[in-house]
A and B are shown apart, each in its own frame.
Chain A
Amino acid sequence: MPTVADGDCIVSIADQLGFRDYHSVWDYAPNAALKQATNRPNPNQLAINDNVQVPADKTKSFMKAVDQTWIFAVKARKLPKLRIIILGGRGSPLAGKKWKLTGAATASGTTKDDGLIDISDLDPQVKDGTLTVEWHKSKRSATKKPKPAKIDRPTYPRPIDATEFEDDAPVLPDKADDTIVWTLKIGSSQSFNVLAGLQGRLHNLGSRCDTSSDATATAKCVKAYQRSKLDDTNPNGTWSDIQGDLRNRHDNP
């Protein structure tokens, strides 16, 4: 009876135990309670320390004549995918952006119209990877000094001449930030209905919050979510109030 650790999911557990198909484990009757919608409805999103029931090894025996030739077809391992949608500002998908995956697999390409990066045949045991996305091309014009206003006939008040103000120009994002490097913790996305699962999703969606955040920091980020995504003008910061919405926004294809 494996206990779920960071990076585990039903697929990786089943694979580790030699099951070619995760359903062998997931659909195992003793896991019925685990699969409940209110518990862990997604086999890829468990929670650390969850207990998974695993069927005994199923050794198949075949009795065949030895003077004939038999072909045994062994079903291939049914490997998982890695599906990531890249979002830009205000949650809109970033299409046509160059990406490169290393570690978990080596792949590259450009995001699809819906911002999707879809990696198939992912090694279920791989837990780390690096995804690099060239998501932005900075314009540097903002650093240009504005031209002095031409004032032929001064009115009152005179037109603003921005060049007369000598305050420091705003610090623009570094050009290096045009590329984002995500260190992927594969399998570490926990179930939506545990705090770490919520924190991870918030983090994935660009929040300061992560699985190490304390209650105060988490509540602050929940409030920001409630304001920005739910238009809640009086957010309460209660994480359980957003778990369903967050799951939908993060997980739904």
Chain B
Amino acid sequence: MDRTVYVARTAYDLTHVNRLAIPQLGVISLYLEIGGKRSKPYLIDTAPPQPALPNSSDDFHFVPELETPKIKYEIDDPGALITEAKLQLFHRGKSEFIWEKVLTEDEYTHGEHELDWNGKITRDTDFPEELITVEHSPYKLKLTIKGDGYNYSPAAWTYLHVLVHSLELELGPKSCLSAARDKQIWDQLKGTGTEKAAIPSGTVKKVVLLSNIFSTGADKADNTLYNEYQALWDNGPNIPIFANIYVKASDDTKKDNPKAIGKVRLLWDWEGIDEDVSIHFNKAREYIADSINYKKDKTKPKSDNCHLDRGGKRGDDSNSVFPAQAGYGSAPSLTPDSFPFKVERCSQRTWASYSETWRDGVLKGKTGVIFKPSRMAGDRYKIAAYFPHLRKPDGTDDLDTKEDKIVHAIQVSAESFQVWRELHLVTYCKKKSTIPSLNFVTVGNYYSKAYISVEDKTGGPVSPMAAYDTNLRAALAGSVDKTAALAAGDQGAITEAGAKFRSYADFKTEYQTRTGLSDDDLRDWLNANNVANVAAYRGYLEAIADDAVVKACSNYFSANSGINIFQFNLYWEAGGGLESGTNGFASTDFANTTRNKAGFIQCRVNYGAGSQNNMQQTMSHEMGHICFLPHAPGAPAGGIVAELHDQVSHWDSCIMSYNYVRERQFCGLCLLRMRGWDQNGLNSDSSKNKKT
């Protein structure tokens, strides 16, 4: 360092001096301040140490744009030596500054200075909103000076953050779904509330999969239910779940400024909730407890949900609850029927996924996933989104691990979603309003054990059944003998039964009258048609009813998918005290029966012993058939499939049996099948379903 100076001689008798000072300059401090909080100032190691700045820390943060901290700095330049001073902002992993302010002469004079700064920076690909963001936080603000002297402290710097305060989940927009069935679920989840209210908080939110799929005959034992349900709902519904990310203000309160988020990733995770098997009676509880325990300790996350081997998603690394999405990047508006965010599967935490926020556009500061739970009714998911405490400069983090719990993150969770099936009751015809109504709530309770919601869409019972007489007689048209059996009068009015027949004696008279047969010929006809006595006449009338009443009821089928119910007080009655003993039955002989439309006839009112056998149980039984359940041991021979029910030695009173000695309840195997489980993996011996 060379310098020319002007010095005076000092006469021999004088004492004055020349003071020569080393020309020096330096930055003494640089920090940010707002609300009494300060960032911590740093200098190079060789700079003179400065006293600690009160209330300063490396955790300084604010909300860009919404808050305006002051940049405070002090410059030591008594000689006005500085020729250049600039503030520059850096983020990790990048040597180039992302923002620069060249200070004016007035801004770098000796002494203390302060500037207002709200986080606004130069527009850039990484910063389209011209604000610092969470994405690249933390930041380093550096003041550098140059000058003609000994620059003992050429730079000072300080660190600042844009921090996430919290996350909030909401139902994503309906427009990002393409399938009508998914949009129906969206409507159901949202209801009349807000998208945020659609996310369960401290409650269980049902994800209801409408599944009016019914047996059409001999398909109760061959896993058709599983296959049809799989065909209907495949790997589950698509539910858009979005996360709003809030920024932490300098006073640590929550602020909403999506422009200050940038492109960050959230990890989406789920955990199982222990199934509440206490809802079941003890035998079903044992069966289900064994079955849900299948390989429980070998799958992550630990869960009671249906295992891959039983058709579920637990343990299926290739079938994520948060499937990968391509997304379509930031845009000023949403693309209909398309999911906006990029979602990638985790490499280690194979059941979890990362989603990426938009830097700008209509969804800036947000991200989300498609939540795709399995279709298995009863499966329950506590989903959570995590923002990592530790984000590396390249944006990666330490959350992608196989550890059970994620702890180093800001999180939000939804407690919890549970998959339910939904069946619709679409028609409820009562022959007469005087017939006691079926209690659908009681029936629904039996099915709720299988996480099936039986929804009454009938609009209430319809009585009387319009034009019933016409429909009934039309069903028998052309058959002289059958029409002769029917009692005269309006069948819709003269009886609460499905049909009223003549007494055996009156039938014979009527038939002979209609046909003009001689007594001998009549006798021959009765013998030939197995109607030779009263007992045979009973069977004859049952057969007529099976034809005529079923056909007549077909006229009342709803156009909608679901179950049609026809209720009588007795299937049929006849003069002479004859009546049917049939309680009720499901039939695939209804003319309008399809895979999605079914019906059954309930035809007795008060029977059985107390609550152990009543019309609600009959209805549940018949609906069981409609739902692909075969008879259990104890029912009449011919339709029993013992291997599709809990072992009799364990539970002999499945509601699909005819055993009336105790209250009948669906056995565990019936419940799991109705939940959608693959029957091929289930054994009637519950102990064999448990595999650890």
Report which A residues bind B (CB closer than 8 A): 9-12, 22, 42-45, 78-91, 94, 116, 122, 124, 131, 135-136, 138-142, 144, 151, 153-161, 164-168, 170-173, 176-177, 179-190, 200-211, 220-221, 223-225, 227-229, 233, 249-253
Decide: A252 near B21, CB < 8 A? Known: A9-B9, A82-B9, A207-B78.
no
A170 to B97, CA, bound (A): 14
- Minimal beta-carbon separation of A179 from chain B (angstroms): 7
Assess whether B16 is in contact with A160, with CB atoms less than 8 Å apart: no
- 9 cross-chain pairs, A with B, having the tightest CB-CB distances, nearest first: A228-B78, A200-B6, A170-B155, A207-B79, A189-B8, A224-B80, A206-B23, A206-B21, A80-B9
Select from chain B the residue with minimum beta-carbon distance to A207.
Answer: B79
B110 within 8 A of A: yes
Are B17 and A142 within 8 A (Cβ)? no
Bound-complex Cα distance A14 to B44 (A): 53
Please, could you name 30 A-B residue pairs with CB atoms under 8 Å apart, sorted by A?
A: A11-B9, A79-B12, A80-B10, A81-B10, A82-B7, A87-B22, A88-B22, A89-B24, A139-B46, A154-B390, A157-B58, A157-B61, A165-B91, A166-B92, A166-B93, A167-B88, A170-B144, A179-B1, A180-B2, A182-B3, A182-B4, A189-B6, A205-B20, A206-B78, A208-B148, A224-B77, A227-B110, A228-B111, A250-B18, A251-B19
* Docked pose: A177 CA to B81 CA in angstroms: 15
Query: Within 8 Å CB of B47, what residues of A?
Result: 142
Stretch binding the partner chain, chosen from B135-143, B354-362, B631-639, B668-676: B135-143
A44 close to B11 (CB less than 8 A) = yes
A131 to B6, CA, bound (A): 12
How close is B506's CB to chain A, nearest CB, in angstroms?
A: 90
A42-B64 Cα distance, complex, nearest whole Å: 61
Other than the given A91-B21, A166-B92, A250-B18, 4 more pairs (CB < 8 A) read A157-B59, A168-B95, A221-B80, A228-B110
Closest chain-A Cβ to B75's Cβ sits at a distance in Å of: 10
> In whole angstroms, what is the CA distance A165 to B109 when docked?
28
Choose from A89, A136, A227 the contact partner of B109 (Cβ within 8 Å). Answer: A227
Query: Is B405 part of the contact surface with A, judged by Cβ < 8 Å?
Result: no
Asked if residues A167 and B142 are in contact (CB atoms below 8 Å), the reply is yes
Closest B residue to A176 by CB, please name it: B1
Q: Is B217 interfacial (CB 8 A cutoff)?
A: no
Chain B residue contacts of A179, Cβ below 8 A: 1
Q: B15 contacts the other chain (Cβ, under 8 Å)?
A: yes
Determine the distance from Cα of A17 to Cα of B127 in the docked complex, in whole angstroms. 77
Contacts of A250 in B (CB 8 A): 18-19
Q: Which residues of B contact A233 (CB under 8 A)?
A: 111
- What residue of chain B has the Cβ atom nearest to residue A146's Cβ? B45
**Which B residues, 82 to 104, have Cβ-Cβ distances below 8 Å to chain A?**
88, 90-95, 97
Q: Are A220 and B105 in contact (CB under 8 A)?
A: yes
Residues on B lying within 8 angstroms of A by beta carbon are 1-24, 44-48, 58-59, 61, 76-81, 88, 90-95, 97, 105, 109-111, 137-138, 140, 142, 144, 146, 148-152, 154-155, 159, 161, 163-164, 389-390, 393, 398, 408, 410
CB distance from A81 to the nearest CB of B (A): 4
Is B14 within 8 A of A44, CB to CB? yes
A204 in complex: contacting residue of B1, B15, B21, B76, CB < 8 Å: B21
Contacts of B48 in A (CB 8 A): 89
Contacts of A187 in B (CB 8 A): 7-9
Q: In the complex, A204 Cα to B398 Cα: how many Å?
A: 58
A5 CB to nearest chain B CB (Å): 14
Known interface pairs A22-B11, A88-B22, A224-B109. Does A203 touch B88 (Cβ–Cβ under 8 Å)?
A: no
Residues of B within 8 A of A167 (CB): 88, 90, 95, 97, 140, 142
Residues on the A chain within 8 Å of B14, using CB: 42-44
Shortest distance between the CB of A23 and any CB in chain B (Å)? 8
On whether the beta carbons of A189 and B94 are closer than 8 Å, the reply is: no
Using CB atoms, name the residue of chain B closest to A45: B8
What chain A residues lie within 8 Å of B140 (beta carbons)? 165, 167
Instruction: Name B80's contact: one of A11, A154, A209, A252 (CB within 8 Å).
Output: A209
Name which residue of chain A comes closest to B392, CB basis: A164
* Residue pair B16, A251 in contact (C-beta under 8 Å): yes
The CA-CA distance from A38 to B146 in the complex, in Å, is: 39
